[in-house]
A and B are shown apart, each in its own frame.
Chain A
Amino acid sequence: MGNPINSGDTAWILVCCSLVLLMTPALALFYGGMARRKNVLSTLTLSYVFMLLIGVQWVLYGYSLAFGEDIGGLIGGLNFVGLRGVGAAVNPNYAKTIPHGLFAAFQMMFAVITPALITGAFVERVRFKTFLLFSLIWVTLIYDPLCHWVWGKGGWLGAMGALDFAGGTVVHIAAGFSALAFALVIGPRKGFGKFPIEPHNIILTVVGAGLLWVGWFGFNAGSALAANGVAVNALLTTNSSAAMAGLVWMLLSWLDGRPSTLGLATGMVVGLAAVTPASGFVTPMAALVIGAVAAPLGYYGIRFREKCRLDESMDVWACHGLASTWGMVATGLFATVEVNSGGANGLFYGHPAQLGIQLVAIAATMAFTFGGTFIIAKALDWSIGLRVSGMEEEVGLDISTHGERAYS
């Protein structure tokens, strides 16, 4: 038996790891542009912090909680604490042809961006100290276990046969429904609903959305964990869904007045979030349908959220939560083993039970992330407070929290 490490696979996942890392700065730009100018540095920081925080947490114990030896299908054990034994050799469960350490690094980038996505819910008013504490608690008690449920060897959702190729549940439904819970607890920004709170620099947002698209190739195609046909299919489905969703969103905004730049950039991201769980299991044609449905879902999801007078400020729930819920459902409809022999068939390929499994995975993820986040946020609100003072909020967090201004 030769060396099981495949250099092609390894090279590709090294690149993908870097691409997924790029998504967090891209997300920071995406959100930063939509913030007001007095909060842009704060908004960037809320995302960037996770490259620091998870960069440490994942090595210390995060990876182990997610991918360590299974305990009751719920969480990983402590055998990989400090990345002990996670190095150059392969791992039969997670990394058959690449070094185990590379798999851990690739997964780290997912753990970085997921909580960064949530920050869109509470920008421009969150207290920084509380935010740091919340983040550490959230990744430890919500992300790491959920990641284990779906992707860890022995995790109960994965064992049940739930198909989530690159993080529809773990990343997007988790972020979307956690964002919803947090927004309910923290309450709206001052002046929300009374006067328009405008994006201060749509250029940043559009550049961020473009870079997210690029990074998403690493996110989805990299989730094949090999440089193979499944990866190529995932790249194609990812592109198809993003293109279709961006196009449909542009048309929807056109029907409401003008073809909005911010709108089509948002549509792209919604298409990307929607196709994420399906990307390695469905055909590019199915991905076009996924994107086409995701766009109105997100578009009218935002409208519905506005009608409810809820200040979930950057629509993490509508753009990621709703879109990826649909993506998980669509996986149960369109999945086919012709695309990926390691997957399963969906409803349209004669296996209706897969749809049921997908629904269970969706419901479990929603309940766990929404409920868990609600409890954590409430506890922090009662104890140390989630919000800055009214004066600090009005001055803006760039000055009041960070003592800096973005534009001088």
Chain B
Amino acid sequence: MLKKIEAIIREEKLNDVKDALKDIGIVGLNVFEIRGHGRQGGIKLAGRSGSYQVDLLPKIQLNIVLSEHNLEDTIEAILNSAYTGETGDGLIFVYPVEEVIRIRTRERGHEAVMYPGDIDERKGRKKA
């Protein structure tokens, strides 16, 4: 089974999360600059005269498609690296993925999300 992680994290935590994922061998990911709000609600910004409230905050969304057997390690890495304890740390969503096809090689499924030196290769899993 293939899964997709959509992690909403703090902008300032992106480098920590990227490093943590690299450490465990997660190679493929996409980063989006998004705006949104959850429990944190919003922030006050300084205006010309006094401040004003903004309810949509800048956040980062990480998209990672990976094999199910790597899911828990990856979630753990994100949880540890994106954590501050304050409201606004974000959320992680997990979805099933129907299919993945690598355009260059036409590989499908698990093989399409495997990279040299990644988490699978470290654990001794080889491409079919």
Contacts and interface: CB of A to CB of B under 8 A. Distances in A.
- What is the predominant secondary structure among interface residues of chain B facing chain A? strand
B54 interface: yes
Contact of B48 (A257, A259, A262): A262
Contacts of A299: 49
Contacts of A302: 48-49
A303 B53 contact: no
A72 interface: no
A263 B49 contact: yes
A306 B47 CA distance: 12
A253 B46 contact: yes
A303 B49 CA distance: 6
B87 interface: no
Contact of A306 (B45, B46, B49): B49
A336 B87 CA distance: 60
Nearest to A319: B48
Contact of A300 (B49, B51, B52, B54): B49
B85 to A, nearest CB: 24
A322 to B, nearest CB: 12
Interface in B9-56: 44-54
- What is the predominant secondary structure among interface residues of chain A facing chain B? helix
Interface in A220-256: 252-253, 256
A258 B43 CA distance: 13
A315 B46 contact: no
A196 B48 contact: no
Interface string B37-80: 00000001111111111100000000000000000000000000
B54 A198 contact: yes
A260 interface: yes
A189 to B, nearest CB: 15
A114 interface: no
Interface residues of B, number: 11
A261 B46 CA distance: 8
Contacts of A300: 49
Nearest to A267: B48
Contacts of B50: 253, 256-257, 303
Contacts of A47: none
A97 interface: no
A253 B49 contact: yes
Contacts of A263: 46-49
A311 to B, nearest CB: 14
A260 B46 contact: yes
A266 interface: yes
Contacts of B48: 260, 262-263, 266, 302, 315
Nearest to A315: B48
A262 B48 CA distance: 6
A258 B46 CA distance: 6
A315 B47 CA distance: 13
Contacts of A262: 46-48
B119 to A, nearest CB: 39
B54 A196 contact: yes
A257 B53 contact: no
B102 to A, nearest CB: 31
B52 to A, nearest CB: 5
Contacts of B51: 256-258
A302 to B, nearest CB: 4
Interface string A257-286: 111111100100000000000000000000
A338 B29 CA distance: 72
Contact of A196 (B46, B49, B52): B52
Contacts of B46: 253, 256-263
A196 B53 contact: yes
Q: Which of B44, B48, B54 has the most CB of A within 10 A?
A: B48
B104 to A, nearest CB: 30
Q: Which of A196, A261, A263, A303 has the most CB of B within 10 A?
A: A196
Nearest to A301: B49
A152 B44 CA distance: 50
A312 to B, nearest CB: 12
10 contacts: A196-B52, A196-B54, A198-B54, A260-B48, A262-B46, A262-B48, A263-B49, A300-B49, A303-B50, A306-B49
Interface of A: 196, 198, 252-253, 256-263, 266, 298-300, 302-303, 306, 315
Q: In the A-B complex, list the 3 residue pairs whose CB atoms are closest, starting with the nearest.
A: A260-B46, A302-B49, A256-B50
